[in-house]
């Protein structure tokens, strides 16, 4: 299965792959030029437990250099695999196989890393009703790719960039003269966009709920204050109409406790920022039996 069911950004794939191949190959792969220009086979080996993500980028790298490259995947996008799993076999021009190797693996190892970590966080809050969000803390040039990987891992995307959601933080509120004033300006200028307000106290929470918004971000609240924030947001007159998001200083070990406090979302920059690549290899030859 391709990545289409996860909302694959086709234009982003093409642009990412073109940039990666240009960066790596430049004027030509001088080492691959030493090889016979015949056909060969290869297999893709995963050396760690992982959630597979990045097939479209992997495929595009190889087919950019050999349009007739045959890639037979043994796993679907989003599958969980164990270390030692052969993910795919390939058949095509030997020079193209080795020239596309590094770029294709770079995409697959990076996006699988994000999907794998996201899946771990999603599993940690299972059954609580809390959903996991990403942030804008992505690798430059790979935002759409990494946000795609978050979806593959079972998470949700926060805003894509500065253009699709109004997010009022401390500096915006201070410059506007308060939460109510900042909300009034936001609603007047961008009435069609979601509005998220970051608050730093329970008083600011009440202001944000009174002013009206799409979601309130409670940033770095301790556990008692967080639980009180949930109580306030769910009680009359607000009655849970505005969901609460937790952000800041969230780690996997403490995530379950935060979710059990009743918040609706937790946003985690580490899904895309703290990338520990999944160990993969592309080897010429047939896979071991």
Tens-digit pLDDT profile for residues 53-68: 999 999 999 999 999 9
228 catalytic residue (yes or no): no
CATH 3.30.980.10 is right for the domain spanning 127-273: no
Contact in structure between 223 and 250 (CB atoms under 8 Å) = no
Catalytic one of 29, 59, 101, 198: 198
The per-residue pLDDT for 4 is 77
The DSSP secondary structure of 81-128, one letter per residue, reads E-TTEEEEEEEEEHHHHHHHHHHHHHHHHHHHHHHHHHHHHHHHTTTS
Q: Where in the chain is the domain with CATH 3.20.20.70?
A: 127-273
The per-residue pLDDT for 148 is 97
The per-residue pLDDT for 8 is 85
Q: Where in the chain is the domain with CATH 3.90.1170.20?
A: 4-122+275-284
Residues 63-88 have a mean pLDDT of 98
Exposure string for 120-143, b = 16+ CB within 10 A, e = fewer: bbbebbeebebbbbbbbebeeebb
95 catalytic residue (yes or no): no
Give yes or no for residue 203 having a pLDDT over 90: yes
Task: Using a pLDDT cut of 70, give the percent of the chain over it.
Answer: 99
Report the DSSP pairing between strands 215-219 and 195-199: parallel
Torsion, Cα of 99, 58, 79, 116 (10° steps): 90
Bridge-partner residues for 50, per DSSP?
81
H-assigned helices in 129-247: 143-152, 170-176, 179-189, 202-211, 223-234
pLDDT band at 2; cut points 50, 70, 90: low
Say how far apart CA 136 and CA 198 lie, in whole Å.
Answer: 15
Report the run of H or E that residue 71 belongs to, with start and end.
Answer: strand 70-73
Class of the 4-122+275-284 domain?
alpha beta
Longest CA span, the chain: 75
Say how far apart CA 255 and CA 261 lie, in whole Å.
Answer: 10
Say how far apart CA 21 and CA 7 lie, in whole Å.
Answer: 24
The per-residue pLDDT for 207 is 95
Kindly report the average pLDDT of the chain as a whole number.
95
102 catalytic residue (yes or no): yes
pLDDT band at 219; cut points 50, 70, 90: confident
Residues 23-49 have a mean pLDDT of 96
Single pTM value for the model: 0.94
- Contacts of 119 by beta carbon, 8 Å cutoff, 6+ apart: 51, 80, 153, 154
Of 128, 89, 2, the closest CA to residue 284 belongs to 89
The per-residue pLDDT for 1 is 44
147 catalytic residue (yes or no): no
| DSSP type of residue 163 | T
Contact in structure between 116 and 50 (CB atoms under 8 Å) = yes
Q: Dihedrals φ, ψ of 10, to 5°?
A: -55, -45
Catalytic one of 39, 40, 219, 228: 219
Catalytic one of 24, 39, 74, 102: 102
Residues 164-183 have a mean pLDDT of 94
Catalytic one of 63, 74, 136, 137: 137
pLDDT band at 289; cut points 50, 70, 90: confident
198 catalytic residue (yes or no): yes
Catalytic one of 63, 74, 136, 169: 169
């Amino acid at each position: 299965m391709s990545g289409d069911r996860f909302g694959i950004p086709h234009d982003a794939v093409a642009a990412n792959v073109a940039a990666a191949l240009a960066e790596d190959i430049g004027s030509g792969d001088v080492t691959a030029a030493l090889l016979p220009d015949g056909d060969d086979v290869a297999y893709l080996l995963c050396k760690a437990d992982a959630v597979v993500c990045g097939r479209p980028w992997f495929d595009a790298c190889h087919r950019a250099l050999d349009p007739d490259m045959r890639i037979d995947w043994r796993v679907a996008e989003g599958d969980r695999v164990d270390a030692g799993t052969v993910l795919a076999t390939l058949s095509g021009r030997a020079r193209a196989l080795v020239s596309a190797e590094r770029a294709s693996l770079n995409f697959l190892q990076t996006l699988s890393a994000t999907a794998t970590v996201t899946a771990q966080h999603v599993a940690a809050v299972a059954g609580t009703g809390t959903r996991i969000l990403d942030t804008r803390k992505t690798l430059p040039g790979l935002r759409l790719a990494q946000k795609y990987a978050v979806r593959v891992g079972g998470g949700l995307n926060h805003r894509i960039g500065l253009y699709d959601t109004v997010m009022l933080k401390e500096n915006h509120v201070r410059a506007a003269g308060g939460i109510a004033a900042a909300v009034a300006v936001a609603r007047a200028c961008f009435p069609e966009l979601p509005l998220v307000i970051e608050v730093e106290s329970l008083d600011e929470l009440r202001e944000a709920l009174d002013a009206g918004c799409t979601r309130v971000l409670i940033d770095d609240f301790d556990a008692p204050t967080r639980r009180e924030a949930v109580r306030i947001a769910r009680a009359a007159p607000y009655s849970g109409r505005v969901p609460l998001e937790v952000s800041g200083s969230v780690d996997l070990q403490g995530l379950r406790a935060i979710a059990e406090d009743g918040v609706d979302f937790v946003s985690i920059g580490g899904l895309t920022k703290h990338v520990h690549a999944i160990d993969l290899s592309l080897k010429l030859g047939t896979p071991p039996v």
